[in-house]
Structure formats: structure tokens, C-alpha cells
Amino acid sequence: MALWRYEHTLASAATLEGTSLHTGEKVSLTIKPAPEGHGFKFRRIDLADQPFIDADVDKVKTVERATTLADGPVKVHTVEHVISALTGMGVDNAIIEMDANEPPIGDGSARPFVELIKKAGIVAQKAPRKIWEIREPIHQETGDGCLITIVPSPTFRVSVTNVGPDGRFTQYFSSEVTPELYEKEIASARTFVYYEDVKPLLDKGLIKGGSLENAVVVRGNEVMSKEALRFPNEFARHKALDVIGDLMLSGKRILGHVIAVKPGHGPNTKMAATVKREYSRMRSMVPPIKIPSGEAVLDINDVLKILPHRYPFLLVDRIVDFEGDTKCTGVKNVTMNEPFFPGHFPGHPVMPGVLQLEAMAQVSSVLMLRKPENQGKIGYFMSADNVKWRRPVLPGDTLFIEAEVIKIRGSIGQTKVRCLVNGEVVSEGELKFALVAN
């Protein structure tokens, strides 16, 4: 859905009250709208100066049965459920205010937070949503048998295998993650604990808010719960819920398939740190690009007013720069969802060279049709000379198309154009076409 190409925040503030898991004290949590590019931030309104803590993997302090964030002495415990709910429901920017050091535990699932988000409402913002398309597998293993791998996928998908102590309650769950599927298939799965793990903590009075109303307790092979299991594989679904929340601490929405076997908060946050590091490494390989703002920049709606092309033949997403009347730069974001990939080397997707040539022609047309005397005309191809393709263009590449007018005589125009990916020329050519009244 085109709407989800843009960042989203909450339409209004909404408050949830309940009991905290570890202290058993009453806590009030309020989610509030936040500006574009803000991400998720927690705020401790019960402390002096009401400090913020970024929902960032660099702030992870401990991962003992839950994920804890800390900035100096300020801490927020058990953040994964509310972050998972915000992420799964399509929210990008939010402030999460609390008057204690952890959110209400609710029923041990993310469902109360989903209901809170729906109460607040979700609205689109103007900034394009930044999603990192995974193009090479990212893999990690730990000594306790946990492994997490993220592989390329046209959608965000999570597959989880839960393995309990001695192989008990081995379960599997897999689903694409969309707001609709998250709410229906993931959000209501409750946290679960093994009695032998929590008994020492119960004896010490360290889980004062814990009960069979907010967790499923496993004792031996017996499941103890206030209600029956909500799904036959509820444990695996809750692990998926945790994975979504913990991975979002990387600060990056991804397009990829997360495959996790025996995951936990420690491995999850370790993978979040890896995702953040790999994204930074990938970005460091891309030369800095200045994207100007103002009237010289044309978004997709402006491009549609100039070019007659429409899906699937419109190959320009945006014009990001003009230099006078003779040069301009367009952008084409190449994704795995392009209609030509299923049939063009489907086992090894490559953008067809002829479509790169078409993208060059479209940017050239924008450059010349933008002139007042040419408005309303159509540019028809006449010739393409000195065309060269230097390297493949793959899903995930951002194609920058630089066009320069080298000659205009009457209704005939000639341009020199090149396409670049990561600052490297991938194709180029000299184009000639006629400008004809529509």
C-alpha cells in the first residue's frame, strides 16, 4: 500500500495503566506523537528533568529475561513488548512516557499495547519511510544453540523455532509481518516462563507483579495458566513478538526474512547491534549525496505532471537536483518488487539494460519538457548512441540518473546521460529525441 511508504506516528496521545512485573507497583504509560525521523524514545516523567532514553541497541544494559535500556543511572525495563507493538502496527515515531521504570505487564502479551495504539490512531507523515533491503545473509550463532539468520526477502517475515529445556515445547511459527497479521497472529501471544527458572526469583520476592494472569508458567510438562493457550504454538509466536521488538533497537526497519532458532533477548539484541553495524558499514561505502530541497526538487506527483508514463513504465521516482536549464538528476529506487524481475533472470535478478536506457530518456524528457515552451509536449526517442553498460543493477540499488542537454535545435533535443549506483557509473549513453505536441 503506497500509504506505508511514508513514516507514521500516532494521531493522538493515549494512556494505559497497570501493574509492573518486577516491582508490582502501579504504572501509567502514555504513547504520544513524535516528529519525522524521531524514532522511539522512552521518557521517565517520574524523575527530575523527565529524561529521555533512546530505544537504541547501544543503550541496552541487561537482557536477563527482558530487555533493559539505560542512560547513566536512568533505566527502563522490559521494553520489548511496547516496541514490538509499535513496530508491528506500522508506527515509526513515538514518545513513550512512563511514571515508573517499566511498562505495565498487562496479560504478558503485546495486545494491550496494540489496543492502545488503535485508540490513539495512526497517521502518515511526509518523510519517506527508510527500509533497509537485506541483500546478503546476516548470520550469528551462540554457544547455547541459538542461531539467527536474516536472508533476502521481498517482505518482512519472521520464522521462529522455540526449544525449551530438554527439548520441551519445541514449536514453530512463521509469518509475514504486516499490521493486520501482527494484530491477528502475533500480538496476543503471552510471555511464558519455566518454573525452575523463576522459583529462585519468586523466593527472593523479585517478581512481585508476576501471576498466572500475565504469564504462562511451565512446570515439568504441565502448562499452568489462567486461561488455555491462545494458540497451539503460542510460545513460538511470543518469541517472534520479542524478536520484532528487540531487532527494532537497531533503529532500522528491514526488508528481509528473520529465521531464529531458540532465540532470546541476548541473541536478539546482539543481532540488532549487528544489523546497526552492517547498515553503517554499507552506508560508509556510499559517497555522500546532497539532496537539495526547494522548488528545484520534484516529487513523484510533480514527475507525473510532466511525463505521460505510468506504472509499470514510469522509471523515475524523483528529481533531486537541477543545475540551470541544462542539467538534472533523477532517482530510481530499484526494489525486488519491480515487475520485470520475475521474468528477467529470476534466479539472479538484474535490471534490464534497456530499462536503464528508458530511465535515462525519462529524466532527459523531464529536463526538456520542464521548459515553458515545451510544456504539454511528449518526447519520442529518435536514437541512442555510445550506449554502454558497465555493471549489473540489482534489487536494492538506488539508481541516480544524471542528464545534461548538449544540443537543442527546434523540436530536436540531444542529451548525454549516465546512471550511477554508489557513485559508480553503471550505464551511459547519448540520446536524441523529438518533442512533439500532445
265 is catalytic: yes
C-alpha to C-alpha distance for 162 and 166, rounded to whole angstroms: 12
Q: Is residue 28 part of a domain?
A: yes
Are residue 75 and residue 222 in the same domain, yes or no? yes
Question: What does the pLDDT look like over 19-59, one tens digit per residue?
Answer: 887 667 889 999 999 999 999 999 999 999 999 999 999 99
Q: Tell me the one-letter amino acid at 124.
A: A
pLDDT over threshold 90, residue 251:
yes
Q: What is the average pLDDT score of the chain?
A: 87
CA 177 → CA 42, 123, 155, 344, 420, distances in Å?
24, 19, 8, 28, 33
Do 279 and 306 fall within a single domain? no
171 grid coordinates: 514449536
Residues 266 and 354 in one domain: no
Q: Domain tally for the chain?
A: 2
Q: Cα-Cα-Cα-Cα dihedral of 18, 93, 244, 43, to 10°?
A: -40
Give a yes or no: residue 423 inside a domain. yes
Q: Is 309 a catalytic residue?
A: no
> How many Cβ atoms from other residues are within 10 Å of residue 87's Cβ?
22
pTM for this one?
A: 0.66
> Is 142 found in the same domain as 174?
yes
pLDDT, mean of residues 198-221: 62
pLDDT confidence of residue 378: 81
CB-hemisphere CA count at 13 Å for 285?
A: 9
* pLDDT of 303: 85
Cell numbers at residue 342, please? 520475475
Instruction: Tell me the helix, strand and coil percentages in the chain, rounded to 5.
Output: 25, 35, 40
366 plus 413 within the same structural domain: yes
Classify residue 324 as left (phi > 0), alpha (psi -120 to 50) or beta. left
Does 223 fall in a domain?
yes
Catalytic residue among 8, 77, 257, 265: 265
Query: Looking at residue 202, what is its pLDDT?
Result: 54
CATH number at residue 395: 3.10.129.10
Helix (H) or strand (E) holding 428: strand 424-437
> Is residue 290 situated within a structural domain?
no
Residue 337's pLDDT is what?
Answer: 87
238, 309, 344, 348: which is the annotated catalytic residue? 344
* Structure confidence at residue 299 (pLDDT): 81
- Distance of alpha carbon 423 from the chain centroid: 24
Does residue 328 sit within a domain?
A: yes
The answer to whether residue 295 is domain-embedded is no
Last residue of a domain, one of 284, 312, 344: 284
Q: Which residue range(s) make up the domain with 367? A: 300-437
Mean pLDDT of the region 320-341 = 86
Each residue of 73-122: pLDDT tens digit?
A: 999 999 999 999 999 999 999 999 999 999 998 888 999 999 999 999 99
Q: Are residues 74 and 217 in the same domain?
A: yes
Instruction: State the pLDDT at residue 290.
Output: 43
Measuring CA to CA, which residue among 129, 410, 438, 154 is closest to residue 309? 438
CATH number of residue 210's parent domain: 3.30.230.20
